[in-house]
Structure 1
Amino acid sequence: MRRRSVLKISVAALSGTVLTACGSSPADEPGTDASGPRTVTVGVIPIVDVAPIYLGKEQGFFSSRGIDLNLVTAQGGSAIVPGVLSGEFEFGFSNITSLMIAQTKKVPVKVVANGAASTGAAGKDFSGVVVRKGSQITTAAALAGRKVAVNTLKNIGDTTVRESVRKDGGDPSGIQFVEIAFPDMPAALENGQVDAAWLVEPQLSTAKAAGATVVASNFTDTAPNLTIAAYFTGAKLIGEDPALVGRFTEAVNESLSYADAHPDEVRAVLSSYTKISEEVRAALILPTWPVEINRASLETLAGLGETDGIFGDARPDLSKLLP
């Protein structure tokens, strides 16, 4: 059996240069700053995936490292990436395919910490392709030639849905993807605007409660324990303040581990930044939050994206994107 490759984020690699070069003055020690705690703004999306960073702020994992964390919500990575590059955000959260696309366009972004990962369990993942109650579509292969809703065209949804169809013996080339925001997908599915929809939590649980059926676990079909998203920054900040980047990475890693070990607290913190009802919070399937980035899964995702034309004529260089 081939051993799954993973990549551990090295905080020392990010912060060691500054700590060695600048001596031992108090302002250069991790968790301190000459003028007190450093305000750090992070662009996030109001979804389940980012619960660990909210928990980490509550638990003091950032303040103990001299970071006054300011979390600002945005609609998606398309708004967060330019925000990081302009300096509006020091760090951002995005799905990994969006970051791969940015890298192929020579955008100077770099992953600094894991974000979220698939559970790796078919039928028990926080992502799935669903059909409405009574649909004649009962398998992933039967999605061939159908209208399927995704939140963004030519991104991680397209790639992973196509792979589910391929693995089930179908031909994904004729799928017509329709761009619809996740919150609007259950209604679009119900009224027949689309034949199927790729949903993530909490909309996945909402749709299932209304009778929708999961016909594909697209993340699980793509790669075991697929890394879905990551926290990132720009090359400029890494060059100017690697010690801050190192402290932020440490705090995120502690937050990820804490969230994985405290699912009840994850469900509780969701109420602080989402409108998910208590009933849905109790039922939804959570992602996993490993500290390690599953590089092998990202190599697979990059290859599939290249095959499907997600990246144009390029292929992502993960050595430049990942730590």
Structure 2
Amino acid sequence: MRRVAITLVAALCLITACNNFLAKPRSSEQIIPERTTLRVGVGNPIDTAPLRLAVEDGSFTRAGLHVDLVEEPTPAAGLDGLARGNLDVAFATDVAMFKAAASGTALRLQAEAYTSTPFTMSLMTLPSSTYTNLADKKTPKIAVDELDDLGALAVRSMFTTAGGDPAKIKFVRYPYASMPTALRDKSVDAALMIESFITQAQQNLGARVLADSSRGATMNLPMTAYAATGIFAEANPRTLALFRSVLARAQQRAADPTVIRQALPRLAGIDEATADLVALGQYPISLNGVRLQRVADLMRTSGMLSSRLDVVSLLPKDDTF
């Protein structure tokens, strides 16, 4: 019995290590990086707020790493920057990263950026709209920021949960900033928005939530992450381990929503009143294989991936130098 118990404990430890990588980040004081400068792409200011704040307050510099933040103008720019060698670490949606990995791009995930919570990602309509029940329209026109990315995945899952047929949805691409106009002129029936666009649409247009994504398969769904190429990760394991360690502490500080809300006016260009109202998601402090596998499996069932992607294979190797 004792041997069985020991074997069981060992197995559980192995599972935990795979599924919750870096649950206790290595101290940055123990890491001497191969290089002292890292070019990191950043996008949505809310998703990337902890990273921006860690650069701003000198956390990376004190650890011996200079991080140059490179603004990504479009959702696809981060992965393009990696491919072109303009970035060492890119920010992108998990969906975009998993599509790239499934297509043969050698990626190594470095950190989860942001996970949804209630009302961080919602389908919005105007108060005058007669569209009040998600499954009422058989062939709805839905605005998404990208035609085959996180928004489309979330909407398909939301329709399935509501009893509708996701194959009947007509997606129309609009930048988030243009979605209110598309709703006003009736170019679309609803728009899949994220914060702070949700709160701004509510303030400026009286927009209402048709359906929130935090239900069914998309409840608390991982949204965005940071990744390096496999080649860069193999050549710079200590540099990336240091990056992960400092970022993990920054994400941990971001568990206090006041930290993020106070920073949003300067990071996201929104006023303090809006910053106080936005729904904030979660900033994971570790890479969790089980949590991320949910996204890849949902992509598989929705047709975005032709076969199952093993997300654990994209996690960093154990930090033994």
The 8 Å contact of residues 147 and 196 in structure 1, kept in 2 or not, is answered as yes
* Change in CA separation of 1:155 and 1:116 when aligned onto 2, cut-off 3 Å: same
Aligned counterpart in structure 1 of residue 163 of structure 2, from 152, 165, 169: 169
Report the secondary structure of 1:162's partner residue: helix
Aligned counterpart in structure 1 of residue 308 of structure 2, from 304, 309, 315: 315
The 8 Å contact of residues 148 and 178 in structure 1, kept in 2 or not, is answered as yes
Letter in 1 for 2:31: P
| 1:244 equivalent in alignment to 2:239 | yes
C-alpha distance in structure 2 between counterparts of 1:11 and 1:257, whole Å: 11
Pairing of 1:292-307 with structure 2 (within 5 A): 292-307=286-301
C-alpha distance in structure 2 between counterparts of 1:11 and 1:286, whole Å: 22
Shift of the alpha carbon at 1:106?
0.7
> What are the superposed Cα offsets for residues 165-189 of structure 1, whole Å, 9 maximum, x if unpaired?
1111222221100010111111111
C-alpha distance in structure 2 between counterparts of 1:83 and 1:12, whole Å: 30
C-alpha distance in structure 2 between counterparts of 1:72 and 1:7, whole Å: 30
Partner of 1:277: 271
Shift of the alpha carbon at 1:32?
6.2
Partner of 1:231: 226
> What are the superposed Cα offsets for residues 218-275 of structure 1, whole Å, 9 maximum, x if unpaired?
24433442211111111112111100010001011111111112x2221232233332
C-alpha distance in structure 2 between counterparts of 1:268 and 1:222, whole Å: 32
Letter in 1 for 2:37: T
Q: Which runs of 4+ in 1 moved over 6 A?
A: none
The 8 Å contact of residues 40 and 87 in structure 2, kept in 1 or not, is answered as yes
> What are the superposed Cα offsets for residues 30-77 of structure 1, whole Å, 9 maximum, x if unpaired?
2567xxx81211111143111110111233321122111111111234
**What root-mean-square deviation, in Å, do the aligned CA atoms of Structure 1 and Structure 2 show?**
2.5
The 8 Å contact of residues 39 and 68 in structure 2, kept in 1 or not, is answered as yes
The 8 Å contact of residues 146 and 174 in structure 1, kept in 2 or not, is answered as yes
The farther-off stretch of 138-147 and 152-161 is 138-147
Aligned counterpart in structure 1 of residue 77 of structure 2, from 59, 76, 79: 79
Letter in 2 for 1:8: N
> What are the superposed Cα offsets for residues 106-137 of structure 1, whole Å, 9 maximum, x if unpaired?
10111111110012x3xxx2110011112122
C-alpha distance in structure 2 between counterparts of 1:235 and 1:194, whole Å: 40
| 1:216 equivalent in alignment to 2:211 | yes
* Change in CA separation of 1:189 and 1:294 when aligned onto 2, cut-off 3 Å: farther
- Unpaired runs of 5+ in structure 2? 1-15, 317-321
Q: State percent identity of aligned pairs.
A: 26
Partner of 1:133: 127
- Unpaired runs of 5+ in structure 1? 17-27
| 1:30 equivalent in alignment to 2:31 | yes
